[in-house]
Structure 1
Amino acid sequence: MPRPLLMTTTLLLLSLSISLPSQAQAPTKIGTMPISSDLDRYAVELLKVVFEHTDGKYVQVPQTGEQRTQGRVIEDIKNGVTQIMWAATDQTLESELTPIRIPILKGFLGHRIFLIRKGDQARFDHVKTLDDLKQIKLGQGTTWADTKIMKANNLNVVTTQKFAGLMYMLDGGRFDAFPRGVSEPWSEVNFGGLQLEVEKRIMLIYKMPMYFFTNKSNGALAKDIELGLNRAIADGSFDKVFFNDPSIRSALEKADIKNRIILHLDNPTLSKETPINRPELWLDVNSL
């Protein structure tokens, strides 16, 4: 008689072990780019919210060490050293890595205001259209994505390789305005003791999304990031991170966008998959 009782107990325990939920797996550690700027800090904060919307499957571990070139980070992604990077997109980058096509900065990079020479504001007070702007020489980096966009819109662009060179060329009258991202000119206006100021009336806007990118072989991670981003957009936590970011909030306040003339440019460098028909993904300056 003892043997059947032992067998019954064993079967019962086996049944219970099968029916009980298995212990939750520890979240997968995801390596991200080092934090070396306000933008990096923002991206890490947003990614934290994204992972909170993916059922605790992941935890990010920012890489340590010095700032790396974009080329180096791309290689780190391809080699599996890093799992996620963020960058302004172009078709070449999208061919090398998997883009998660939700602009993590709501297209903020494509909002440009000018550095000009101190005392030149009156010249820009007369600019009201793109045709007016074509009479103004704009400075840009030779290889910058913005340069291609401005040239494609037939603006008068003067280029050189180095950022410092552009600042000195502006001061020296080689061109008349240096388009900068909305958050950039406030810390640059005193560069090298030059006599510069931030132009007060004009803003260029073009679609220039910054995406999260993953290795092409890591499709599951890319899908989970997209899911987390869409969930964060739907419940408002995405916008909460964006509008509460100190550097973004400060830039929007200083730029005084509501009192600027907005000139829209086409961006022919975007891939056809860019989500331009999802207005909730882009910053609406008319709502500020």
Structure 2
Amino acid sequence: MKSWRAGWILLGLVYICAGAGIALSGEQAVAAGPKANNSITDYRLWHRNFDSPPIRALVSLAFEKTPEYGPFRIIRSPEMAQGRVVRELAQQQSSLIDIANVATSNEREEILRAIPIPIDGGLLGFRVCVVLRESLPKFEGIENLSDLRESGIRIGQGTHWPDTPILRVNGIPVVTHSRYEILFRMLENQRFECFARGVSEVLFDLQLEADSDFVIEPHLLIAYPMPSYFFVGRQDHETAQRLQLGMERAIHDGSFGQYLEHFYGSALEQLQLENRTILVLDNPFLTEESWNIGRRTLPNLKRRISILSSSDLES
């Protein structure tokens, strides 16, 4: 694979972010922001996001791009499941958390305030299967969604993750648990055959697990429109404005593209997306804005993979 392949794919995803239907212009966000001051503002980030180097780095990048809001400190939230995170942010003022990055849904956008820029360029909606090495033969011969349904393969997901209803509405059996960490133990105990993880997160997951029995199934790519946003409480206008303005500035000055390449470029190369069979699922649980954002991601990725694969043949 050419060294610039992942960079070209990610560049296309930056354009998706840049055209994501952003609600606030930079000028409006600056006007709404506070005057610079010397007091440090603490932002409590969901512990799973805090422990993820790419997500914590993006929060820092957005805040560094907005010095008019003053100095900041990012703090790890108490440990809690994703469903609890959503409930806490839905409160008028939670004492436990200020910011979380999770996949979007129409329900979440109704009760929380979303910053509608896909934090990973839309990659979370592209899923590969983490499987037990001994289970790899079960995935042979799957060429389309009907094959997957008929295979008897069960997919493990979080109880409160938006992926769960998406998979079920597409006729795929799902086994759930409220805690992310337990899902790996359930895979180990063969409670399901595939733990579907986003291409932007799967290598980090396996690095943390450090278990050679867990491998990435090499042939399938499960795809559905599902942008992943930063969310804050509906009344937390200042944090929302700071995150959004900072990400806008990062997109326009090129640092967001550098961020994507740094954290996700290697993953795209290692996962060899151009060699995978893409199984496209419907996602009926998005707002119109997020559906429009998500639906552009798959054609964009397919187009770049096609172009780059053709370039390989010609070289």
- Specify the TM-score bucket, using the shorter chain as the normaliser: 0.7 to 0.9
Summarize the Cα distance change of 1:265–1:188 in structure 2 as closer, same or farther, 3 Å threshold: farther
Alignment partner, residue 233 of structure 1: 251
Structure 2: how far apart are the matches of 1:154 and 1:72?
A: 28
Question: Secondary structure, in 3 states, of the residue corresponding to 2:229?
Answer: strand
Matched, 1:215 2:228: no
Alignment partner, residue 205 of structure 1: 223
Structure 2: how far apart are the matches of 1:282 and 1:116?
A: 24
Summarize the Cα distance change of 1:106–1:259 in structure 2 as closer, same or farther, 3 Å threshold: same
Aligned 1:30-179 pairs, distance under 5 A: 30-33=42-45, 40-54=52-66, 56-64=68-76, 66-70=78-82, 71=84, 75=88, 78-79=92-93, 81=95, 82-136=97-151, 137-141=153-157, 142-159=159-176, 167=184, 170=187, 175-179=192-196
CA deviation profile, 1:161-183 (whole Å, cap 9, x unmatched):
66677556655665443322333
Cα RMSD after superposing both structures: 3.6
Question: Structure 1 residues 210-219 or 58-67, which shifts more?
Answer: 58-67
**Offset at 1:127?**
1.4
Aligned 1:252-271 pairs, distance under 5 A: 252-271=268-287
Alignment partner, residue 206 of structure 2: 186
CA deviation profile, 1:218-271 (whole Å, cap 9, x unmatched):
3344234323322322222112112212xx344333312121111121212222
Structure 2: how far apart are the matches of 1:281 and 1:168?
A: 32
Summarize the Cα distance change of 1:188–1:118 in structure 2 as closer, same or farther, 3 Å threshold: farther
Summarize the Cα distance change of 1:282–1:44 in structure 2 as closer, same or farther, 3 Å threshold: farther
**Is the CA contact (8 Å cut-off) linking 1:112 and 1:204 kept in structure 2?**
yes
Task: Using CA pairs under 8 Å that are at least 6 residues apart, name the structure with larger relative contact order, 1 or 2.
Answer: 2
> Which residue identity does 2:36 align to in structure 1?
Q
Q: Please list every run of 5 or more consecutive structure 2 residues that lacks an aligned counterpart in the other structure.
A: 1-34, 306-315
**Is the CA contact (8 Å cut-off) linking 2:103 and 2:227 kept in structure 1?**
yes
**Is the CA contact (8 Å cut-off) linking 1:103 and 1:210 kept in structure 2?**
yes
**Offset at 1:189?**
7.3
Summarize the Cα distance change of 1:187–1:25 in structure 2 as closer, same or farther, 3 Å threshold: closer
Aligned residues: 261
CA deviation profile, 1:185-236 (whole Å, cap 9, x unmatched):
6347765x8x553211101111222212223223344234323322322222
> Which residue identity does 1:144 align to in structure 2?
W
**Larger % of helix: which?**
2
Moved over 6 A (4+): 278-283
Structure 2: how far apart are the matches of 1:74 and 1:235?
A: 35
Question: Secondary structure, in 3 states, of the residue corresponding to 1:45?
Answer: helix
Structure 2: how far apart are the matches of 1:208 and 1:234?
A: 23
**Is the CA contact (8 Å cut-off) linking 2:49 and 2:101 kept in structure 1?**
no
TM-score by length of 2: 0.67
Aligned 1:271-282 pairs, distance under 5 A: 271-274=287-290, 276-277=292-293
Summarize the Cα distance change of 1:282–1:50 in structure 2 as closer, same or farther, 3 Å threshold: farther
Alignment partner, residue 36 of structure 2: 25
Summarize the Cα distance change of 1:139–1:54 in structure 2 as closer, same or farther, 3 Å threshold: same
Aligned 1:245-256 pairs, distance under 5 A: 245=263, 248-256=264-272
**Offset at 1:79?**
1.8
> Which residue identity does 1:51 align to in structure 2?
F
**Offset at 1:56?**
3.0
Q: Please list every run of 5 or more consecutive structure 1 residues that lacks an aligned counterpart in the other structure.
A: 1-23
